[in-house]
Amino acid sequence: MARRPEVFVRPLTMEEGRKLQRITRTAKDPIKLRRAIVVMMSGQGQSVPDITSLMQVSDDYVRDVIHAFNERGFDALDPKWSGGRPRAISDQVRERICLIARTVPAEWGITGMSTWSLKTLAEHLIARGVVTAISREHLRRILRKGGVSWQTTTTWKASTDPDFIAKMQRVLELYDHPPDGGRVICVDEFGPLNLMPRKGKRWRPVGSPARLRATYNRYHGVMQMIAALDLATGKLYYRIRKRKRWREYLSFLKTLR
């Protein structure tokens, strides 16, 4: 078999030699760094077999890099990334996946679960024909990129008292302007002491957790604790009752005088 002819890079100028050295010191792309080293070694008189042995690459690779540099110069050092395989899931489908994830299974007639898991959401998307197939990890990446994360649901509560605003303003007025020579007693109610619902978690847009209205009605009885704190002595007075009885509450306040 005839021996393949030796291949060397074209003669390099001083400026090109300094530029190659600069690339070998500063290049962050491993492909560009490896090509620059091949060209610099060839410019120093190293043969293709010697470069192959030191760089642990094939003869064809070294020859292709040298030929490319001789034809295109330093542009041949930059990797030419291809676009890769087209995405199987379009942007419109990704938006629909994020929209479905922000709903709850009950809205789709699915019972027995209060929120989506990655597995059940993937099965639902396939059953609805949104996608033909999708893994849990791919689904997780789509949700993360779409700004949907796994969050704790928060609650909110509003007073049912129609005179709440007027009462609140009177209390705040006492805080800001207490009566001369009088005492302002702050009384709070801890409770009801009963089973409290857990807020749970669900998929929602980042920074926008789902909110559930908290309930006031407890038809099977609750425990109430009425307490008063004496700010002067730091002493706490309290009473616990099965239900709230205003007469007992008023008599309790009289004992604090």
9 domain-assigned: no
| Dist. CA 203–CA 139, nearest whole Å | 12
Q: Return the amino acid letter for 26.
A: T
188 and 242 co-located in one domain? yes
99 and 188 co-located in one domain? no
The DSSP string of 183-195 is ----EEEEEEES-
Span 122-148, mean pLDDT? 92
Which residue range forms the structural domain that includes residue 221?
156-197+213-254
Top mean-pLDDT range of 1-10, 70-79, 228-237: 70-79
171 domain-assigned: yes
pLDDT at 100: 94
Tens digit of each residue's pLDDT (9 = 90 or more) over 87-107 = 788 999 999 999 999 998 988
Whose tokens are 């706490």? That residue is: 236
- Across 21-43, b (16+ Cβ under 10 Å) vs e yields eebeeebeeeebbbbbbbbbbbb
pLDDT at 250: 57
Measure Cα distances from 105 to 65, 100, 117, 169 in Å.
57, 9, 10, 43
pLDDT at 46: 87
- As for how many domains the chain has, the answer is 3
Please list the residues that pair with 213 across neighbouring strands.
156
Whose tokens are 């490896």? That residue is: 34
Tens digit of each residue's pLDDT (9 = 90 or more) over 145-188 = 999 998 887 777 778 888 988 888 888 888 778 778 777 776 66
For 176-231, strand residue ranges (E) read 187-193, 201-205, 211-213, 223-230
168 and 229 co-located in one domain? yes
Longest dimension (CA), the chain: 115
- pTM comes to 0.41
Span 68-80, mean pLDDT? 87
pLDDT at 1: 47
